[in-house]
Structure 1
Amino acid sequence: MPNTFAFVGTQNRNGQGTGISVYRFDSATGDLTPASEYLAIDNPGYLAIDEKRKRLYAAVEIPAWNENMAVAFDIDPATGELSYINMQSTLGNTTCHLGFDRPGSTIFASNYTVADLGERPGNAIAAFSIRDDGGLDPAFAAAAHEGKSAIIASEKRQHGHCAVASPDNRYLFVCDLGLDRIIAYNLPKKGEGLTLARAPFVQFPDGAGPRHMTFHPNGKIAYVINELNCTVSVFEYDASQGELKILQTLPSIPDDFTDTNTCAEIAISADGKFLYGSNRGHNSIVSYAVAPSGEISLVGWTPSQGIGPRNFTIDPSGEFMLVANQKGGGIAIFKRDVSTGALVDTGKRVDLPNPMRIVFGTFG
C-alpha cells in the first residue's frame, strides 16, 4: 500500500509552532496521524515537494535576517521522516515561496523583502540548481525589482511573493505584490542570468497586490489571487510571446463584507473544474466553477473553521481539503465533492499552532 504523508511548515520563531510536522494521511477518512517532526529549523514558512525524487524543500522566513535560506531534505518513503541535506542563502529577505521549474531541476525562491531599503543583497528572486543528491547549489541567478540593481525600474517597494514556471517551461512568472506586477522572465538554465521576456510584465491596478498564481491543467489559462484588493484575476497565456492577457477579475469576498481582509492561497482542482482561494479576515475558502473557456463563476464561501487561512491543499485523491489557519484553529479538514466542488466540514482538526503551508507526498 502506498504511504501518503502531509508535511506542515509552522511558524516557530515568532509563533508557537515546532518546525516541520509530518503526518500520515488516511485518504479514506481524512485522518491525520502524527508521524515525525523536524525541529532544527527556524520558521519554515513555505514548503515545496518533489515526490518523484522523495525530497522536500523549505523556505526559512525570518524578517530580521537580511538573507534567508532554502533548505533541502530527503524523505524516508516508509516513515515520512526528514533528513537534512544542505541549505543555501536566498540572497534576499523574508523568503516566502519556493517553486520548481517543470523538470524539477531548478528551484526559485521569492523574497518578500521587509529589510530596510538599500540593505544588501536585496533580491526579489533567486534561482538554484538542484544537485543529483537533492541538495542545492549556490544561487546561479538573482534579480531585484527596485533600487540601483533593479532589473526593471519602479518607484514602489518590491515584495516578491511567488515564482511559477510556465507550462511549457519557457518563462518564469514572478508575482510582485509591492509593485502590483507579474514580472515575466525567460526561464534560466544553470549558468544563465535572469533576463526579461518579450512582454516584461503585467501591470495590475494600484493596490491589487498579486500574491500567488497557478495554471489550469490545460496550460492555457493562469489564475492570480490578489492579496490587497481581494480579487482573483484570470489570464490567457500566450506561449508565443510569454504574455498573460487579462480575461476576467472577480471578487473573493461578499459585497457586504466591510471588515479587513487579505487573500492568501489559490489552487485549482486536478480536473480543472473548480478554483479555490483563501480569505484572511473573512476567514473563508472561496469557490469558483471553471468554464471550458477557463473563465470562472462564483460558487460561494466556506468558513475556514479558524483564523487567518494562509494556505490550503487538496489531497491526492481530490476528496479532501486541508486548511492551515495560521492565526488560530490549526488545521481543519474538509470533505470535497469532486463533482460539485463543494466543501463540507468534517469536524476533524489538528491542533497545531501557526501552520503556514501543507504539502502532500505519496510514496510506494
Structure 2
Amino acid sequence: MSKIFAFVGNQNRNALPGEGKGISVFHFNDQTGDMTLVSEYLPIDNPGYLAIDEKNRRLYAAVEIPAWNENMAVAFDIDPSTGVLSYINMQPTLGNTTCHLGFDQTGAMIFASNYTVAGLGARPGNAVAAFAIRGDGGLEPAFAAAIHEGKSAILPTKKRQHGHCAVVSPDNRYVFVCDLGLDRIMAYVLPKKGEGLALAPIPFTQLPDGAGPRHMTFHPSGKIAYVINELNSTVSVLHYSPENAGFTISQTVPTLPEGFSDTNTCAEIAVSADGRFLYGSNRGHNSIVSYAIADNGSISLIGWTPSHGIGPRNFSIDPSGKFMLVANQKGGGIAIFKRSIETGALQDTGKRVALQSPMRIVFGTFG
C-alpha cells in the first residue's frame, strides 16, 4: 500500500514568530487530511524551499540565509517506508538568499534561484545556477550560472536583480527565470552539462514596471504559463512559443478584491493536475485566490479563501487532489483545506499543524 509523506521546510534561523525545526516529515492521510509527524531533520539552516524527486526518492532543500554571500543546495535520500531523510551532500549556489529549486524535465539537473539581498557587487552574485545530479542523488558543483545586473551581467541593467524561480519548459528546451527586481522573465537555452547559460532567441519577457514576477507554472498542456506578480498583486497569462522561447501576455488579472487597500504581496501559484483551476496566495490579505481556467487558458475568478494564518508563503495540493495545505509563514502554522475536484472550491477542515515558520510543503508518494 502506498504511503504519502508531506515534507515541510521551516525557517529556523532568525525566524519570527518562533524558531522552526528544519525539515519536518509527516505521514499524510488522503482520506481524512490528517498529518502525523514521523521525523524531523534538524541540522539544516533555513530550508526555505524544497523540491522532490519521487521517482528516485530524493529531496533537495535550498538554504536561505540573507547574511551569507553564498547559500547552499542540499541533497537527501528519502526512506520510502518511513520518510526519514538521510544527508547526501551540499553545494554552494553561487549567490545569496537562495529561494527556489527547479528540475529539468529529465531530473538530471536542478537550478537554484538567488534573490540576492547581499550588497551590490558582492561576489559571487549570481541570480541562477545550474547543477548536475549525480547517480547517487548528490549534487555536483555548479557548472553554469548567470548574473542579471551590472557589468558582469549577460544583459546589463541598472535595476537590482532578484531571481525568484527557475522553471524549465515542458519541452525541456529552455530555462525561464523570474526576476522580480527586473520585472522580467529571463530565457536561457537549456544547457548540457558543462555548458554555460546562453540566452534564448527571445532573451526575456518584460512585465510592467513594478509587477515583480515571482513564481511561474506551466499548464499541463505545455502551451500556456501563469506568473504571479508579487508586488502589484496580479496574475498574468502567458502563451508560450517554443520556436523562440517567447511569451505573449494575453491577460492580467488582480489577486485581490476590489477596494482592498492594505499592504499585500503575492507568493505561490499552482495549477491543478487536471488543468482546470489556478490558485495563488496573498500575504497581507492572507488568502488563497482561486480561478477557473478556460479551454483557451484564460482565467476567471472563483473567489478568495482565508488562509487562517498570517503570510501564506506556500501551498500545495495533495496527490489525490482532494486537499490543499497552506503554509502560513508568519503565524498560524499549516491550515488544511478540502478541495472540490469538480468545482475547485476550498473548504476549511478546521485542522491545523502547529509549526512556527513553515515555508514550503511538498508531497511524496512511495510504495
* TM-score tier (shorter): over 0.9
| Alignment match, 2:325 | 322
In the alignment, which residue of structure 2 is the partner of 1:191? Answer: 194
Q: Which contiguous aligned blocks of 4+ residues in structure 1 show a shift greater than 3 angstroms?
A: none
1:14 CA displacement: 1.2
Q: Distance in 2 between matches of 1:220 and 1:48?
A: 23
What CA deviation, in whole Å up to 9, does each residue of 1:54-75 have, x standing for no partner? 0000000000000000000000
C-alpha deviation, 1:175, in angstroms: 0.1
1: CA distance between counterparts of 2:12 and 2:155? 35
In structure 2, how many angstroms separate the alpha carbons of the residues matched to 1:74 and 1:189?
A: 25
In the superposition, the TM-score normalised over structure 2's length comes to: 0.99
State the alpha-carbon separation in 2 of the partners of residues 273 and 255 from structure 1.
24
Partner of 1:203: 206
Tell me which residue corresponds to 2:141.
Answer: 138
In the comparison of the two structures, how many residue pairs are matched? Answer: 364
**Candidates 62, 65, 68, aligned match of 1:62:** 65
The superposition leaves residues 7-38 of structure 1 with CA deviations (integer Å, 9 ceiling, x where unpaired) of: 00000001110100000000000000001000
Q: Which residue of 2 aligns with 1:254?
A: 257
Deviation at 1:148, TM superposition (A): 2.0
Match of 2:40 in 1: 37
1:166 aligned onto 2:144: no
How does 1:93-242 map onto structure 2 within 5 Å? 93-242=96-245
* 1:12 maps onto 2:12 in alignment: yes
SS of corresponding position for 1:199: strand
User: Which residue among 336, 340, 344 is the counterpart of 1:337?
Assistant: 340
Q: Secondary structure at the match of 2:20?
A: coil
Letter in 2 for 1:115: A
Aligned-partner SS, 2:62? strand
Give 2:11's aligned amino acid: Q
d(CA) in 2 for partners of 1:305 and 1:317?
22
Letter in 1 for 2:182: L
1:243 to 246, 251, 254: 246
Alpha-carbon separation, structure 1, partners of 2:246 and 2:333? 39
Q: What secondary structure sits across from 2:302 in the alignment? A: strand
Shift of 1:198: 0.3
Equivalent AA in structure 1 for residue 3 of structure 2: N
Offset of residue 284 of structure 1: 0.1
The aligned runs of 1:261-340 (5 Å cut-off) are: 261-340=264-343
Matched to 1:92, the amino acid is: G
Taking the aligned partners of 1:81 and 1:148, their CA distance within structure 2 comes to 45
- Distance in 2 (CA, whole Å) between partners of 1:149 and 1:157 is 13
- Structure 2 Cα separation of the partners of residues 290 and 334 of structure 1: 20
Q: CA deviation at 1:189?
A: 1.1
2:55 match: secondary structure? coil
Give the partner amino acid of 2:5: F
Question: Residues 210-247 of structure 1, C-alpha deviation per residue, up to 9 Å, x if partnerless?
Answer: 00000000000000000000000001011111111111
Q: What secondary structure sits across from 1:116 in the alignment? A: coil
Calculate the TM-score normalised by the size of structure 1. Answer: 1.00
**After superposition, what is the alpha-carbon deviation per residue over 1:176-201, rounded to whole angstroms, capped at 9, x for unaligned?**
00000000000111010000000000
Q: Counterpart of 1:164 in structure 2: which amino acid? A: V
C-alpha distance in 2 between matches for 1:191 and 1:204: 31
Cα deviation digits, residues 301-342 of structure 1 (max 9, x gap):
000000000000000000000000000000000000000000
Q: Distance in 1 between matches of 2:128 and 2:14?
A: 24
SS of 2:141's partner is coil
State the 1:147 CA deviation: 1.4
Q: Distance in 1 between matches of 2:14 and 2:50?
A: 18
Contiguous gaps of at least 5 residues in structure 1: none
